[in-house]
Structure 1
Amino acid sequence: MNPLDTRLAKLARKGDQRAFAEIVGLYKDKLYHLAYRMTGNRQEAEDVVQDTFLRVHKNLERYDENQKFSTWIYRIATNLCIDRLRKRRSTYSLDAESSGHEGLDGYSMLPSDDRTPESELLLSETQRLIREAMETLPVKYKSVMVLRYMKELSLQEISDVLDMPVTTVKTRVHRGREFLRKKLEHKL
């Protein structure tokens, strides 16, 4: 529990605009990165962040102070992203069933020191391929994969954010990795 979040939420609930501005300052970049990873579109990510803060402001009285504030705000942002991705489906179809990539977290294991221009190019190319593969994930897998590997949330935190059982989260992470693995096995 981050007491700062809770204190700011309490103050903002009472109408303290500076406290709400601090919440925005604390979360705007984190939410933008989450939304961008999920939507793959800068404008949509910015819209999601703005919509998230509008909903937070409007619904502060519904925030349960026994819950982590970050979980609550991530849930709002994630749901907004999922809604946008579902609406987008009518424009182009996402691949139905398939599965993920064991090496997704290997992306974070690539050597970070002693980088050469060649290794930098390889790293950026690998990251691009993974990002492109993530874009093709079905929405139900994409949300858990982004929260797990991009936001580095625990399975329990993802369960709280998405309001689903941990076992479902585990299954979706596994299937999402399988989907990515199949997508990437011939590219990497």
Structure 2
Amino acid sequence: MSDIEKKLIKKAQKGQVDAFETLIINYEKKIYNLAYQMFHNEQDAYDISQEVFIKVYQSIDKFNFSSKFSTWLHRITVNTAIDEMRKRKNKQTESIDAMIELGESKVTKQYDNQEMTPEDLVLRKERNEDLIHLLNQLKAEHKTIIVLRDIKGFSYEEISQILNCSIGTVKSRLSRARAKLKDLYTNHNLNNLKDFVK
């Protein structure tokens, strides 16, 4: 965390709205992208982001600098998203273009250095649709940990800070989530995801 960011946080904790707005501007895209990865819907990601910023505004005085500010924001985002998923009980709207637009999933990374033929684009789109379909069938906790590790690429340590649990717990939850995803994959016979679901 930079000295400038620390100063902004301290000013925001004292009620200076300009400092808070600057912090939000610095993180709004990352928060939106994380919410988007979890919901695959622009409006949902926007709504979650706004709810996160309200929660941050209401509780910024509780931030004690024991972790990175970004980690604290990610934790609030993940918890807000999980709460929303629980409310909906898997009634999220699916978006075909979710991972294609962000280009951050393992599924899309393998194509980065190749020219895409129209057939490749169709296969990639189908693959992403299938992956989103499977992810949306997982419990919120399983979906969250797969998004954080396998799609967003957070380290085990970062995930443990975001979810406020030990690295061992992260690894065991991830193992269970991947096993469940693999079961879903096997039951749906989706051969185009065999590289992602190992």
Name the structure 2 match of 1:117. 118
Q: Secondary structure at the match of 1:137?
A: coil
Letter of the 1:121 counterpart: V
Name the structure 1 match of 2:177. 176
Name the structure 2 match of 1:77. 77
Q: Secondary structure at the match of 2:33?
A: helix
Q: Secondary structure at the match of 1:114?
A: coil
Aligned residues: 175
Name the structure 1 match of 2:99. none
Q: Secondary structure at the match of 1:111?
A: coil
Q: 1:49 and 2:49 equivalent?
A: yes
Offset at 1:21?
1.6
CA distance in 1, matches of 2:140, 2:41: 15
Q: Secondary structure at the match of 2:154?
A: coil
Q: Secondary structure at the match of 2:127?
A: helix
Name the structure 1 match of 2:94. none
Name the structure 2 match of 1:99. none
Q: Secondary structure at the match of 1:59?
A: helix
Alignment of 1:84-99 (within 5 A): 84-89=84-89
Asked if the contact 2:134–2:181 (Cα under 8 Å) also holds between the matched residues in 1, the reply is yes
Q: 1:24 to 1:166 in 2, by over 3 A?
A: same
- Which stretch has the larger CA shift, 140-149 or 33-42? 33-42
CA distance in 2, matches of 1:115, 1:183: 29
Offset at 1:34?
1.4
What's the TM-score once normalised by structure 1's chain length? 0.83
Name the structure 1 match of 2:149. 148
Offset at 1:177?
1.8
Name the structure 2 match of 1:24. 24
What RMSD in Å do the two structures reach over aligned CA positions? Answer: 2.0
Name the structure 2 match of 1:126. 127
Once the two structures are superposed, residues 65-112 of structure 1 have per-residue CA deviations (whole angstroms, 9 ceiling, x without a partner) of 2310011011111111111111222x76xxxxxxxxxxxx75144222
Q: Secondary structure at the match of 2:160?
A: helix
Offset at 1:3?
4.2
CA distance in 2, matches of 1:52, 1:172: 24
Once the two structures are superposed, residues 102-159 of structure 1 have per-residue CA deviations (whole angstroms, 9 ceiling, x without a partner) of xxx7514422222211112211221221122111111121111111123221111111
Q: 1:88 to 1:176 in 2, by over 3 A?
A: same
Letter of the 2:20 counterpart: F
Asked if the contact 1:129–1:184 (Cα under 8 Å) also holds between the matched residues in 2, the reply is no
Letter of the 2:130 counterpart: L
Name the structure 1 match of 2:67. 67
Offset at 1:42?
3.1
Q: Which of 1 and 2 has higher RCO (CA within 8 Å, sep 6+)?
A: 1
Name the structure 2 match of 1:6. 6
What's the TM-score once normalised by structure 2's chain length? 0.79
Unaligned runs of 5+ in 2: 92-104, 193-198
Letter of the 1:9 counterpart: I
How high is the sequence identity, in percent, across the aligned residues? Answer: 33
Asked if the contact 1:34–1:150 (Cα under 8 Å) also holds between the matched residues in 2, the reply is no
